[in-house]
Amino acid sequence: MTPTKQNLTKNRCGLVAIVGRPNVGKSTLLNHILGQKISITSRKPQTTRHRLLGIKTTDNAQIIFVDTPGLHIGIDKALNRYMNKTVNAVIKDVDLILFMIDGNKWTAEDENVLESIRNSNVSVFLLLNKTDRLGDQASLLPKIEELKSLYEFDEMIPISALKNQGTEKLEQLITKSLPLGSYLFPEDQITDKNGRFLAAEFVREKITRQMGDELPYEVNVEIEEFKNKDGVLHISALILVEREGQKKILIGKNGSSLKLIGTEARREMEQLFDAKIMLNLWVKVKSGWSDDERALRSLGYIDQ
């Protein structure tokens, strides 16, 4: 991709990693900053699996956010190893790290993330998320003092990703920290992922939200058709599960669950793609795919 011509004495551009334990609010933050949903969210941990770029271009800066899977411990499947490897690779290749935690608590998984960034040679901002839940903001001060003893963070910023609080100040601080340089993407581009990827992720999000704890997170979605015909975008998605019982749960009585998933996914796709969508969903059992590196490679997880 040919960089857009810019005045190098004015404009800033750089990669900013958003890292943290699973389900701490990383994707929610990215979507609010971009003003558009590109990264799926749910209350279920490990919703984000892939490295995804979210691009925010302003008058004098291009911030390339790298949304990453949650860095987690205690699970040793091939899919989990892939996600952890993705996070560690991103940490080594960015200009700034945003380390997000729940401002109300510090966990062993947070410590694990901190260990991964200790050897980084770039600035690290600690984002204390969900601080809107604190009745008295002054109660956050002892927590901040405690966290200061763990690492020499360049900034410590209380935010609420869900309520979009503190994000304007965060963007200002990020921009000041970026190196001077040419933009790497066209000014109207907001992500590096294509429509097929986003369509698959939107279907997977609706599965995660609808099924809750009824299905494990080992569900994958493949887009088999993505074609515009006479002004209608036809999308066919294959949903992979690991056991026959999971297939029955996902389809539901008389197809009710699958129909609801399709309705909600189609509604969001029509907003994203600004087009009428014809969405078809199928469910297939593929045993052990989440712990099979060959299967993960064929599904686009390995060596991205």
Distance CA 170, CA 116 (A): 22
Positive or negative CA dihedral for 36, 40, 46, 51?
Answer: negative
DSSP SS3 for 125: strand
pTM, two decimals, is: 0.79
Furthest-apart CA atoms within the chain: distance in Å: 63
Per-residue pLDDT of 242-271, as tens digits, reads 888 889 999 999 999 999 999 999 999 999
- pLDDT given for residue 239 in this prediction: 92
Superfamily of chain region 195-298: K homology (KH) domain (3.30.300.20)
The kind and range of the H/E element at 221 are strand 220-229
Q: What is the DSSP letter of 149?
A: T
Tokens of 11: 């404009």
pLDDT of 287 above 60:
yes
Lowest-confidence range among 36-40, 162-166, 282-286? 36-40
Domain boundaries, the chain: 12-177, 195-298
Q: Which of 206, 166, 191, 177 is nearest to 25 (CA)?
A: 166
CA distances from 113 to 27, 85, 106 (A): 17, 12, 11
> Averaged over 116-137, what is the pLDDT?
83
CA-CA distance, 35 to 54, in Å (whole number)?
A: 11
pLDDT tens per residue across span 178-207: 999 999 999 999 998 899 989 998 998 898
pLDDT by residue (tens digit) across 131-166?
A: 777 666 666 778 888 889 999 999 999 999 989 899
Tell me which fold the domain 12-177 belongs to: Rossmann fold (3.40.50)
